[in-house]
Amino acid sequence: MDFDFSPEQVTFADEVERFLDEHDDPEVFDLTRENMAQIVDTPKRRQFMRQVGERGWLGITWPKEWGGQDSDGVYEYLLNEALARRGGPQIGKGVGIIGKTILRHGSEKLKQEFLPKILRNEVEFAVGYSEPDAGSDAASMKLKATRDGDGWRLNGQKTWTTSAHFAEWYWVGARTDPESKHQGITLFLVPLDHPGITINPIWTMGDERTNDVFFDDVWVSDDYVVGEVNRGFQYISEALDLERFTMFTFSPIQQRLDLLCEYVRTSSVDAAPLKDDAVVRQRVAQLVTQGEVARVLGLRFVAASMKGGAPPTTQASEYKLYATELSKRLANASMDIAGPGSQLRVGTEDAPMKGRAESTYRYTVIDTIGGGTSEVQKNIISRRKLGLPKNF
Ligand SMILES: Cc1cc2nc3c(=O)[nH]c(=O)nc-3n(C[C@H](O)[C@H](O)[C@H](O)COP(=O)(O)OP(=O)(O)OC[C@H]3O[C@@H](n4cnc5c(N)ncnc54)[C@H](O)[C@@H]3O)c2cc1C
């Protein structure tokens, strides 16, 4: 099996690096923001993403008839990993999740309205599945949609909606059939500036903002139903598979592994070089090996998704579970190995590993929750891959 990239892919990766060098800007690239925090939330980041769009690099895998390049997912992977390596915003939600789902299931109207805007990065989305009583079990969502004329009236609450405070559109699931669980959910697109919507902040331990969102008699036309009524949970499940891969990149893990190795190579504790400590050496060697496993699981998802059809569920869960748990183990090890100094924050002069240990120690926990917890990924793998019975 050949894990190397082809000459064309290497040329593309080099081109991306040159582009990123030319657009280097500390207000766009921030290495303290990883994965779920790598969002397009400021005017500068929006402007930068528009330039990525002008290069034709958004929608690389989309069909040509919708402005894409009909190209392999590996190019999208290379672009996203390069962006993540510099702490830049990722192509995540618009192109990777909402755009791809609209392409597969959306009406002609939704395609016409949203796909060109996504490719020009003129629109940001928030994703609303979770509710106070429906997180891991998202199919228990209660946000109520009742039939009203040529549309639906939405009432209720969502929680943990990242991006709702700056996005224009809400990709939101609601209950259209109270008699059915999985077959009673419909997916809507709702403008977030609707007067019936209230957005309240929730601040996370990773310094990023997410939100509670309240719906008070929000009317949505049938035109903004995604796909078929009551089939929303199927689309949400597919979109979650995409999210589990596109929102959780590997390159920041590799970077932090390199920082840890360099720290161990060059630092001492009580005049004893860390590189001579057998326990530290063993721990670092294990992490580096696990890093290779995560990298290859990511490539396996890319290869499986290039076969077309629905995104590969098991591979998405295996990658998300392994990469985010490794990321957390790495943050823990970095804190342990660097000792008290590891608590110094990013921006502090001489902080071990540039202060990344402290920030990632707090943030990597969140990555094992958002997009479905590690336990949920294990349940998916148990059922879909191993054929074990459902546990709830
Ligand atoms: C920073 C952040 C951003 C987020 N952004 C978004 C967003 O933009 N949009 C959105 O819709 N959601 C978002 N989420 C929500 C996220 O998807 C949920 O938090 C997650 O799915 C878990 O749901 P919950 O918090 O209700 O926990 P629960 O489902 O209540 O789970 C609590 C614990 O029980 C475990 N558990 C639950 N069920 C099982 C089971 N069957 N088997 C074994 N263990 C189980 C879980 O693993 C967890 O450890 C975000 C969350 C965070 C933390």
DSSP string, 277-340: -HHHHHHHHHHHHHHHHHHHHHHHHHHHHTT-SS--HHHHHHHHHHHHHHHHHHHHHHHHHHGG
Report whether pLDDT(73) > 90.
no
Q: Are residues 133 and 217 in the same domain?
A: yes
φ, ψ (nearest 5 deg) of residue 315: -65, -35
**Distance separating alpha carbons of residues 223 and 226, to the nearest angstrom:** 8
Query: How many whole angstroms from 135 Cα to the centroid of ligand 1?
Result: 4
Total Cβ atoms within 10 A of residue 93: 25
Atom of ligand 1 nearest to the CA of 392: 41
Q: Are residues 27 and 98 in the same domain?
A: yes
Residues in CB range of 12: below 8 A, 6 or more apart: 75, 78
Q: What is the pLDDT of residue 303?
A: 87
**Distance separating alpha carbons of residues 351 and 334, to the nearest angstrom:** 12
**Distance separating alpha carbons of residues 270 and 268, to the nearest angstrom:** 6
Mean of pLDDT values over 266-292: 96
* Closest residue by CA, ligand 1 atom 24: 135
**Distance separating alpha carbons of residues 230 and 244, to the nearest angstrom:** 23
**Distance separating alpha carbons of residues 99 and 102, to the nearest angstrom:** 5
Q: What is the pLDDT of residue 392?
A: 57
Q: What's the CATH number where 319 sits? A: 1.20.140.10
Q: Are residues 111 and 169 in the same domain?
A: no
Q: What's the CATH number where 178 sits? A: 2.40.110.10
244 in a structural domain? no
* Closest residue by CA, ligand 1 atom 48: 373
Of 179, 202, 230, the residue that ends a domain is 230
225 in a structural domain? yes
Q: Are residues 311 and 222 in the same domain?
A: no
pLDDT per position as a tens digit, 125-178: 999 999 999 999 999 999 999 999 999 999 999 999 999 999 999 999 999 999
Q: Are residues 53 and 74 in the same domain?
A: yes
Furthest CA-CA distance within the chain: 76
Report whether pLDDT(311) > 90.
no
Report whether pLDDT(391) > 70.
no
Query: How many whole angstroms from 297 Cα to the centroid of ligand 1?
Result: 23
Atom of ligand 1 nearest to the CA of 132: 26
240 in a structural domain? no
236 in a structural domain? no
pLDDT per position as a tens digit, 231-277: 999 999 988 887 777 778 999 999 999 999 999 999 998 899 999 99
Burial of 193 by CB count in 10 Å (0-12 exposed, 13-18 middle, 19+ buried)?
exposed
Of 124, 141, 171, the residue that ends a domain is 124
Query: How many whole angstroms from 238 Cα to the centroid of ligand 1?
Result: 17
Q: Are residues 276 and 361 in the same domain?
A: yes
Owner of token pair 């915003």: 89
Confidence of residue 40 (pLDDT cuts 50, 70, 90): confident
321 in a structural domain? yes
Mean of pLDDT values over 6-35: 92
Atom of ligand 1 nearest to the CA of 164: 8
Our mutation pick for probing the ligand 1 site, out of 124, 129, 160, counting the most ligand atoms within 8 A of Cβ, is 160
**Distance separating alpha carbons of residues 233 and 250, to the nearest angstrom:** 28
Q: Which domain holds residue 222?
A: 126-230
Q: Are residues 146 and 178 in the same domain?
A: yes
Q: Are residues 50 and 81 in the same domain?
A: yes
291 in a structural domain? yes
* Closest residue by CA, ligand 1 atom 25: 135
83 in a structural domain? yes
Q: What is the pLDDT of residue 284?
A: 98
> Domain tally for the chain?
3
Atom of ligand 1 nearest to the CA of 206: 1
pLDDT per position as a tens digit, 330-381: 999 999 999 999 999 888 888 999 898 998 999 999 999 988 999 999 999 9
Burial state string for 38-75 with b = 16 or more CB within 10 A and e = fewer than 16: bbbbeeebbebbeebbeeebbbbbbeeebbbbebbbbb
Q: Are residues 184 and 258 in the same domain?
A: no
Mean of pLDDT values over 30-56: 87
197 in a structural domain? yes
Burial of 386 by CB count in 10 Å (0-12 exposed, 13-18 middle, 19+ buried)?
exposed
Q: What is the mean pLDDT of the chain?
A: 93
Q: Is the pTM of this model over 0.75?
A: yes
Q: What is the pLDDT of residue 53?
A: 94
Query: How many whole angstroms from 103 Cα to the centroid of ligand 1?
Result: 27
CA angle at residue 141 from 36 to 113, to 5 degrees? 65
Q: Where are the alpha helices (DSSP H) in the chain?
A: 7-22, 43-54, 73-85, 100-105, 108-119, 232-246, 251-266, 278-305, 313-338, 356-367, 374-380
Q: Identify the residues whose C-beta falls under 6 Å from ligand 1.
A: 36, 127-130, 135-136, 160-162, 204, 210, 366, 369-370, 372-373, 375-376, 379, 391-392
Report whether pLDDT(225) > 60.
yes
* Closest residue by CA, ligand 1 atom 32: 136
Q: Are residues 254 and 354 in the same domain?
A: yes
Q: Are residues 88 and 22 in the same domain?
A: yes
Q: Are residues 301 and 371 in the same domain?
A: yes
Q: What's the CATH number where 47 sits? A: 1.10.540.10
CA angle at residue 342 from 338 to 347, to 5 degrees? 135
Of 124, 149, 170, the residue that ends a domain is 124
